[in-house]
Amino acid sequence: MSVDIVGTAAEEAFGTLFALVKDVVVTIVVFREQLKKIESTLDSIVPIMKNIDELNRRMDRKDMGQIRAIIDDGIDLVKKCLKIKKCNLIKRYMYSKKLTEFDATLFREFQLSVPLTAARNTMEILEGVEVMGGEVKEVGKDVKEIEGNVNEIRGGVEEIGGDVKKLLDSVQLSSGAQQSWLEPLSDLAVPEAPDLIVGSEVEKSMRELKERLLEEGVSVIVVTAPGGCGKTTLLKKLCHDEAIEGKFHNNIMFVPVSKRANLIDIVQKMCCHKGFRIPPIETEDDAVRCLQKLLISIGQDPVLLVLDDVWTNSQSIIEKFVFKKIKHYKIVVTSRYEFPAYRPVHHLNPLTHSEALELFRRSVTVDDTSMDAPDDELLDQIVNRCKGLPLALTVVAKSLRGKDRSFWKTKLFDWSERRSLLRSGSEVLVDCLRKSLDDLDGDHPIKKRFLDLGLFPEDCKIPATALIDMWVELYKLDFSGVRAIAELNELVYRNLADLVVTGKDSIEDEDYSGHYAMQHDLLRDLAILECNQGEIENRERLILDLTENDFPDWWSEQKQLTLNARLVSISTDGKFSRPWPNLQLPEAEALVLNFETTIQTKPYDLPEFIEKANMLKVLIVTNYSFFPTELRNFHVIGSNLRRMRLERVTVPFLRMGKLHLHNLQKISFFMCNISQASTSDDAKISDAIPNLVELNIDYCNDLMALPDDICEIKLLKKLSITNCHNLSALPKQIGQLASLEVVRLNSCTNLSHLPDSIGTLKKLISLNISDCLSLSTLPDHIGQLVNLKSMNMRGCLRLSKLPRSIVKLRNLRKVVCDKEKEGMWAQAGLNSLNIMASEEEEANLDWLKD
């Protein structure tokens, strides 16, 4: 389309912008997608500009200053884009966002300002029209000509349906004219669905949703998944299903909701879509009443309302659409958020590899002909990069469609070099995924938690206890971790993470050692992309993934570099061998070290720069090799450390007495070798960690006994020794731990008895001895645990009777046991006791999949 409109200053600026964009979109590849969107917006605006300008000329008006200012800004922005070099990724990203924002601003201004100008001009023109008997008198050829111009303007604008409705009412145009003009503004018909839908998950969801919609009951169904998984596509396809169309006939309304949901606007469109006169609606309460009348007026015919892309802050909108007394009325919500208040919820998962290959092959094919594709190995590598996400597969397929093998290999090389599709310039994919964060500003707690997940390696289960350790210390949450788990669940509801829970005990007694977070690889890449904004020295999170000995230039070129990150993650592979550089981390409060070793006997040295990180509160060290690796350089750990978690390392816990970790409150060992023999000259552990509050030892099979001096740690409240199959006894002096509130000994299969002194633990609230297969008796004085509230003895197969003192446990409220032990507790005569008897639980080994 050519632009030959001239006249007003705004119009001339518009022509300049239009011509500039037309030229730049051809010459600059970097911003082509954003510029094409702007070009499309300008194409749709040209006829509106012509008509508005014509009316302004007739009215002798020149009042489009706001539009002129926006267009001038657009011209400056496009000119600046011309100067950006292709290699400047940061500026490319910044100006890509600015172009997208400009396109939205331009479109919004023409939705609001231009229609209001047109409406005002129309009112002034029609003021002279004489109204008699409720009809407009014929006033001649000029009015008809102006009316035609106004109708053209009306047809190009969507958002002013309500305003023009009032205008038309004021001049009492016929209801038929109103209806014909408003039809394009209220099109809630189901959009066409693509013929291609791939995936067993999609097919399964189609079947389940179809069954739900065809049966009685269930008024609200939620379909949820991360961005790009195909929720909207699924609903489009479902609404065109013969059975669904047969049941709901013409009463299917497909409403795009998006970020700024407007209940009044939606209800007005629904009324118009059904052919009813649009009522004046001032408040949301009016809208609810109007919607209820609309549904009643439809009668007994079933109604299906699809609310597509509902955001997290729009749950109240869903609530207002629900009318339980109106039968045959169903709502399906698609959202990136789970909305826990509504069930059932259908989750769409990423495609399997074979399904991803099928979708990719079909998407990359040109003109329904067979694809002249590279070999299967190269195809697999490219598809693997898309991580099963339908949007990623289709975007990448389209970018490779019709290209030769060399182009495919070049693309794969670019992705491998940058280690991510998102970091190689796929703006469409980045924009789609980033929408999940759009309602979370920079300081929003949930956004911070999402970004923190990027500190952990790709394709791994993140222990919830590791997240708890970070979040409690960095964000001042409660020590128990309850609030941290609630925030992790919020990430799950938003489809920003998945939660895997292994074992019932993790749920029953708030033991989160069996909770693991998982994150889709592309969402992790999004988190890293967000974390890497800004200058390296001033980033809040520093994430380094060191392959072999490949240090980033900014690190290896500096002899000493000061970074102000609060959270630091450093990951190394099995080929890493260079010494650590002299890194300065004066603000670091949490350090996550992830490493692999190719040689079983090769030790791992803690970096020397830890010694100077005086603010460090949390240290998490994880070995992703199969066998534990010796961990050395413990002397670098400072006295300010409050929480430490070690996984798959060999560390002499029983010889840690020489350390000075006086502020350490929690230490966790997972699958570690910790039981090196102590010597007579070793210092006491109680002297090294005198303020320890929580001790966790899990799957440490070399542990046979605890040192007696652990019982001298007066502040210890939680003692958890689980899945340690060689532990045969606890210290006899355990009764000295006067502050102890929780004892977990589950799955210590070789533990044969509990010390008699355990009866002196007056503050003990919870005792878990589940799956202690060798335990045959309980201490005679167990009745002295006057504050004991819960006890788990599921799987204690040899335990056949209870001590007489059990009747003294007056505060005991919950007992978990096997079905055959239920009668034993029922005869104990304890009032208000809730006995939770269960069948034998099948072992859950999901945690081993890493």
Which of 500-509, 694-703, 727-736, 769-778 is predicted least confidently? Answer: 500-509
Task: Give me the mean pLDDT over the 5-28 stretch.
Answer: 61
Model confidence band, residue 592 (pLDDT cutoffs 50, 70, 90): very high
- Rounded CA separation 785/812 (Å): 9
What was the pLDDT predicted at 449? 94
Which of 97-101, 334-338, 440-444 is predicted least confidently? Answer: 97-101
- Strand 220-224 vs strand 345-347: parallel, antiparallel, or unpaired? parallel
What was the pLDDT predicted at 625? 86
Model confidence band, residue 455 (pLDDT cutoffs 50, 70, 90): very high
What was the pLDDT predicted at 133? 36
* Mean pLDDT for all residues in the chain: 78
Q: One-letter amino acid identity for 809?
A: L
What was the pLDDT predicted at 594? 93
Token duo for residue 242 = 């013969």
Is 603 within 8 Å of 629 (Cβ atoms)? yes
Question: Between these two residues, 731 and 142, which has the higher pLDDT value?
Answer: 731
Task: Give me the mean pLDDT over the 53-74 stretch.
Answer: 63
What was the pLDDT predicted at 750? 94
**CA 245 to chain centroid:** 34
- Rounded CA separation 453/496 (Å): 10
Task: Give me the mean pLDDT over the 810-839 stretch.
Answer: 88
Q: Residue 667 forms beta bridges with which residues?
A: 644, 695
Question: Between these two residues, 387 and 152, which has the higher pLDDT value?
Answer: 387
Question: Between these two residues, 31 and 504, which has the higher pLDDT value?
Answer: 31
Which of 435-439, 615-619, 814-818 is predicted least confidently? Answer: 435-439
- Rounded CA separation 582/29 (Å): 41
- Judged against a pLDDT cut of 90, whether residue 812 lies above it is answered with yes
**CA 234 to chain centroid:** 20
- Judged against a pLDDT cut of 60, whether residue 26 lies above it is answered with no
- Judged against a pLDDT cut of 80, whether residue 581 lies above it is answered with no
pLDDT tens-place string over residues 312-324? 878 888 888 888 8
- Rounded CA separation 498/492 (Å): 5
Task: Give me the mean pLDDT over the 409-418 stretch.
Answer: 72
What was the pLDDT predicted at 85? 66
Is 812 within 8 Å of 802 (Cβ atoms)? no
Residue 666 DSSP symbol: E
All domains of the chain in start order, with CATH? 9-181 (no CATH), 200-211+224-347 (3.40.50.300), 441-521 (1.10.10)
Question: Cβ neighbours of residue 639 under 8 Å, at least 6 residues apart?
Answer: 660, 661, 662, 663
Model confidence band, residue 117 (pLDDT cutoffs 50, 70, 90): low
DSSP element (H, E) containing 136: strand 135-136
Question: Between these two residues, 136 and 66, which has the higher pLDDT value?
Answer: 66
- Strand 515-518 vs strand 462-463: parallel, antiparallel, or unpaired? antiparallel
What was the pLDDT predicted at 424? 61
- Judged against a pLDDT cut of 90, whether residue 848 lies above it is answered with no
Q: Residue 310 forms beta bridges with which residues?
A: 258
- Judged against a pLDDT cut of 60, whether residue 800 lies above it is answered with yes
Is 153 within 8 Å of 48 (Cβ atoms)? yes
Model confidence band, residue 670 (pLDDT cutoffs 50, 70, 90): very high
* Cα dihedral 761/762/766/770 (nearest 10): 40
Residue 315 DSSP symbol: H
pLDDT tens-place string over residues 690-726? 999 999 999 998 899 888 889 999 999 999 999 999 9
Task: Give me the mean pLDDT over the 452-477 stretch.
Answer: 92
Sign of torsion, CA 369 370 374 379? positive
Q: Is 475 exposed, middle or buried (0-12, 13-18, 19+ CB in 10 A)?
A: middle
What was the pLDDT predicted at 52? 61
- Judged against a pLDDT cut of 70, whether residue 368 lies above it is answered with no
Which of 103-107, 276-280, 586-590 is predicted least confidently? Answer: 103-107
Which of 48-62, 442-456, 558-572 is predicted least confidently? Answer: 48-62
- Strand 649-650 vs strand 666-670: parallel, antiparallel, or unpaired? unpaired
- Rounded CA separation 574/624 (Å): 10
- Rounded CA separation 132/529 (Å): 66
How many helices (H) and strands (E) would you count in the chain?
26, 28
Of 166-175, 195-204, 275-284, 771-780, highest mean pLDDT: 771-780
Is 337 within 8 Å of 494 (Cβ atoms)? yes
- Judged against a pLDDT cut of 50, whether residue 672 lies above it is answered with yes
Model confidence band, residue 730 (pLDDT cutoffs 50, 70, 90): very high
- Judged against a pLDDT cut of 80, whether residue 120 lies above it is answered with no
Question: Cβ neighbours of residue 286 under 8 Å, at least 6 residues apart?
Answer: 264
- Strand 329-335 vs strand 303-310: parallel, antiparallel, or unpaired? parallel
What was the pLDDT predicted at 30? 60
Of 129-138, 350-359, 712-721, 823-832, highest mean pLDDT: 712-721
- Judged against a pLDDT cut of 60, whether residue 555 lies above it is answered with yes
Is 200 within 8 Å of 349 (Cβ atoms)? no
Model confidence band, residue 184 (pLDDT cutoffs 50, 70, 90): very low
Q: Residue 463 forms beta bridges with which residues?
A: 516
Is 757 within 8 Å of 785 (Cβ atoms)? no
Is 825 within 8 Å of 835 (Cβ atoms)? yes
What was the pLDDT predicted at 161? 40
For 267, the 3-state DSSP assignment is: helix
What was the pLDDT predicted at 566? 95
Model confidence band, residue 668 (pLDDT cutoffs 50, 70, 90): very high
- Judged against a pLDDT cut of 50, whether residue 175 lies above it is answered with no
Of 121-135, 199-213, 239-253, highest mean pLDDT: 239-253
Is 287 within 8 Å of 263 (Cβ atoms)? yes
- Rounded CA separation 718/796 (Å): 22
What was the pLDDT predicted at 509? 61
What was the pLDDT predicted at 425? 55
Which of 333-337, 412-416, 450-454 is predicted least confidently? Answer: 412-416
The residue among 722, 719, 829, 794 whose CA lies nearest residue 763 is: 719
Is 306 within 8 Å of 252 (Cβ atoms)? yes
Length of the chain: 850
- Judged against a pLDDT cut of 60, whether residue 371 lies above it is answered with no
The dihedral region occupied by 753, where left means phi > 0, alpha psi between -120 and 50, and beta the remainder, is beta
Which of 492-496, 506-510, 807-811 is predicted least confidently? Answer: 506-510
Question: Between these two residues, 458 and 41, which has the higher pLDDT value?
Answer: 458
Which of 158-162, 507-511, 586-590 is predicted least confidently? Answer: 158-162
**CA 826 to chain centroid:** 46
Task: Give me the mean pLDDT over the 826-831 stretch.
Answer: 84
End-to-end CA separation in angstroms for the chain = 57
- Judged against a pLDDT cut of 90, whether residue 471 lies above it is answered with yes
**CA 782 to chain centroid:** 46
Token duo for residue 4 = 């030959």
- Rounded CA separation 435/431 (Å): 6
What was the pLDDT predicted at 658? 74
CA distances for 591 relative to 26, 477, 613, 802, angstroms: 47, 18, 10, 47
Model confidence band, residue 65 (pLDDT cutoffs 50, 70, 90): low
- Rounded CA separation 431/422 (Å): 10
